[in-house]
């Protein structure tokens, strides 16, 4: 699965699906120290519907322990990504004007909530996706706050976009409104040159991601999931039902039914902060 063979079309041996032992271990582990077969990994993801960046990190982590199949390694890798995302979230909160106690509190809630715990133990790419999305948000704020969009800032925005795209295609769905709002804000402030650089960094990052992993074009446009997503995006079909389901999952699964109360408290705190700023 990780490096040694192509696994998507694998057939059971004489009707037996191996759950453990050498046949299964040979498919589900890396044989040699740092022996990641990048061409095989690339082909696996080309046959699948997901880009390869997370699985590259995943395979590299397991290659440090040849033959290992324990999920602990993957959980620890996701833990590193979750920690990095929490640090980035702190700097995002600070960039938005929050004082350090509030920024730390937000990061604490982010780090220990049920959703983050689920992302960490679920050996998929969502912790890494959170890293790139938080980075994209932080850099968008930096573009808005900076007097000009320098080469370093544009390069970081480009790399974050490439990384997000090569982690999970959902990055495009989440980053598009973020980037669009940031670009409109730059234009509203008559910072046309900065808006142009920002657009070049973000759109260029998506294009570079497609060039780095050409199967992504087919995944997005012709795969079953890609066509379904495009059809729903074009028609708006099921948007309301999905939104209601997302609310239910957040309220019941993450906040224990207290999401309306949490939002009410947050709205009250924001109202107090705004009132004090208007009086100052």
In tens, the pLDDT along 1-26 reads 444 444 444 555 554 454 555 555 66
Which 8-state DSSP code applies to residue 32? S
In degrees, to the nearest 5, what angle opens at C-alpha 81 toward C-alphas 177 and 160?
40
Given a contact cutoff of 8 angstroms between Cβ atoms, the answer to whether 36 and 3 are in contact is yes
pTM over 0.95: no
Question: Which of 200, 80, 107, 189 has the alpha carbon at shortest distance from 144?
Answer: 189
- CA distances to 164, 234, 239 from 173, rounded to whole Å, are 11, 13, 14
Length, in residues, of the chain: 280
CA-to-CA distance for 76 and 71, rounded, in angstroms?
Answer: 9
Gyration radius of the chain's alpha carbons: 22
Q: Please, which residues bridge with residue 16 across strands?
A: 13
* Cα–Cα distance, 81 to 35 (Å, whole number): 23
Please tell me the predicted confidence (pLDDT) of residue 23: 57
Identify which of 30-44, 98-112, 120-134, 245-259 has the greatest average pLDDT: 120-134
State yes or no: pLDDT of 223 exceeds 80: no
Which of 15-24, 107-116, 187-196, 269-278 shows the lowest per-residue confidence on average (mean pLDDT)?
Answer: 15-24
Could you report the per-residue pLDDT of 156-177, keeping only the tens digit for each?
999 999 999 999 988 988 899 8
Contact assessment for residue 201 and residue 154, using Cβ atoms and an 8 Å cutoff: yes
Give the count of beta carbons closer than 10 Å to the beta carbon of residue 35: 13
Residue 201, pLDDT above cutoff 70: yes
Helical H runs in 166-191? 170-188
**Which residues, in sequence order, are CB contacts of 75 under 8 Å at separation 6+?**
120, 121, 123
Query: What does the pLDDT read at residue 25?
Result: 62
Question: Dmax over Cα atoms in the chain, in whole Å?
Answer: 78
Predicted confidence band at 228 (pLDDT cuts at 50, 70, 90)?
low
Residue 204 has pLDDT above 80, yes or no: yes
User: Angle of helix 170-188 relative to helix 151-165, nearest 10 degrees?
Assistant: 150
266 vs 154, residue with greater confidence:
154
Given this model, what pLDDT does residue 114 score? Answer: 75
Exposed e or buried b for every residue in 38-47, given b needs 16+ CB within 10 A? eebbeebbbe
Number of other residues whose CB lies within 10 A of the CB of residue 127 = 25
As a whole number of Å, the end-to-end CA separation of the chain is 61
DSSP state of 252: I
C-alpha separations of 70 from 45, 115, 138 in Å: 22, 22, 35
Report the distance separating Cα 172 and Cα 240, nearest Å: 20
Beta-bridge partner residues of 13: 16
Whether residue 122 is predicted with pLDDT greater than 90 in this model: the reply is no
Cα-based angle 82, 106, 249 (whole degrees, multiple of 5) = 70
Which of the given ranges, 28-32, 79-83, 234-238, has the highest pLDDT on average? Answer: 79-83
pLDDT, position 6: 45
């Amino acid at each position: 699965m990780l490096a040694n063979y192509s696994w998507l079309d694998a057939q059971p041996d004489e009707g037996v699906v191996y759950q453990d032992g050498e046949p299964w271990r040979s498919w589900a582990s890396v044989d040699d120290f740092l022996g990641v077969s990048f061409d095989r990994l690339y082909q696996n993801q080309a046959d699948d519907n997901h880009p390869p960046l997370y699985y590259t990190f995943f395979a590299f982590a397991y290659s440090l322990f040849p033959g290992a199949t324990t999920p602990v390694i993957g959980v620890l890798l996701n833990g590193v990504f979750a920690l990095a995302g929490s640090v980035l979230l702190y700097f995002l909160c600070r960039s938005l004007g929050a004082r350090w106690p509030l920024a730390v509190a937000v990061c604490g809630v982010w780090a220990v909530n049920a959703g983050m715990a689920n992302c960490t133990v679920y050996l998929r790419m969502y912790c890494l996706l959170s890293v790139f999305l938080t980075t994209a948000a932080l850099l968008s704020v930096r573009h808005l706050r900076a007097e000009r969009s320098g080469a370093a800032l544009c390069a970081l925005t480009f790399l974050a976009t490439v990384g997000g795209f090569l982690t999970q295609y959902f990055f495009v769905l989440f980053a598009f409104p973020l980037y669009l709002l940031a670009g409109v804000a730059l234009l509203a402030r008559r910072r046309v040159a900065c808006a142009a650089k920002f657009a070049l960094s973000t759109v260029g990052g998506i294009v570079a991601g497609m060039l780095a992993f050409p199967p992504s074009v087919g995944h997005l446009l012709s795969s079953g999931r890609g066509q379904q997503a495009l059809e729903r995006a074009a028609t708006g079909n099921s948007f309301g039902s999905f939104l209601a389901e997302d609310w239910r999952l957040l309220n019941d699964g993450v906040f224990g039914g207290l999401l309306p109360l949490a939002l009410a408290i947050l709205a009250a705190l924001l109202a107090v902060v705004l009132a004090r700023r208007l009086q100052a």
